[in-house]
Chain A
Amino acid sequence: DAGVTQSPTHLIKTRGQQVTLRCSPKSGHDTVSWYQQALGQGPQFIFQYYEEEERQRGNFPDRFSGHQFPNYSSELNVNALLLGDSALYLCASSLGPGGPQHFGDGTRLSIL
């Protein structure tokens, strides 16, 4: 039974570029949430996707956008990258928006 998988595991970009991160939820899960975890901090909620729609959004600018596909997988897109976007990006899946969340191991994004 595969858990939550994220790709890539590491990524290096420069300021101003755009990036796409990918997440496949745990088998049987239909909801995906994305979090940003800066060094020394707890995860910060970015947004949640359910039934292919963004259902909830945290305090992040419009540069952060996402998508959920019919197979429940999801992408996180970040445009016009800033140095402050350097962080670990975590994806969590659940059965329904209120179910216990299972996290992937994240994508480490470094901005030069």
Chain B
Amino acid sequence: TQLLEQSPQFLSIQEGENLTVYCNSSSVFSSLQWYRQEPGEGPVLLVTVVTGGEVKKLKRLTFQFGDARKDSSLHITAAQPGDTGLYLCGRGGSNYKLTFGKGTLLTVNP
């Protein structure tokens, strides 16, 4: 059972466009991690957010954690083909195991 909802499930855009993907839960996160997974590879950690309202930037990627710590968004500015991949949010719990959403599969066309 997936406790995290990610939207959209699929997204196909042209190079240079901006996009936002979302991660939502009905319960509070103690922490949330965003990963990118490319075909044939394991997920790679992009960022961890722990404080409600927190905003982190990683080059063209901006991560926001909702004030109530139940939701998060990832915004990509001027997307490039190298941004193509499966974007996963993972919820950390007090027992340390990560619970993942189904992910957003992003395709950036040249």
Contact = CB atoms under 8 A, between A and B. Distances in A.
Interface of A: 4, 33, 35, 40-45, 48, 55-56, 58-59, 90, 92, 97-98, 100-106
B48 A101 contact: no
A103 B42 contact: yes
B43 interface: yes
Interface stretch (B13-21, B53-61, B98-106): B98-106
A43 B97 CA distance: 11
Given A41-B102, A42-B2, A43-B88, A103 B97 contact: no
The 7 A-B pairs at the shortest CB distance, nearest first, are namely: A103-B42, A42-B100, A97-B96, A45-B97, A98-B96, A105-B42, A103-B43
A100 B45 contact: yes
Contact of B99 (A45, A48, A55, A101): A45
Nearest to A45: B97
Nearest to A44: B100
Contacts of B44: 103
Contacts of B2: 41-42
Interface in B22-69: 33, 35, 40-45, 48
Interface residues of B, number: 25
Contacts of A90: 42-43
9 contacts: A35-B100, A41-B102, A42-B101, A43-B100, A45-B97, A48-B96, A92-B42, A100-B33, A100-B48
Contacts of B100: 35, 42-44
Q: Which residue, of B6, B35, B42, B101, has the highest number of chain A Cβ atoms within 10 A?
A: B42
Contacts of A4: 42
Contacts of B99: 45
A100 B35 CA distance: 11
A66 B106 CA distance: 34
Nearest to B48: A100
A77 to B, nearest CB: 19
A42 B102 contact: yes
Q: Which residue, of B44, B92, B97, B102, has the highest number of chain A Cβ atoms within 10 A?
A: B97
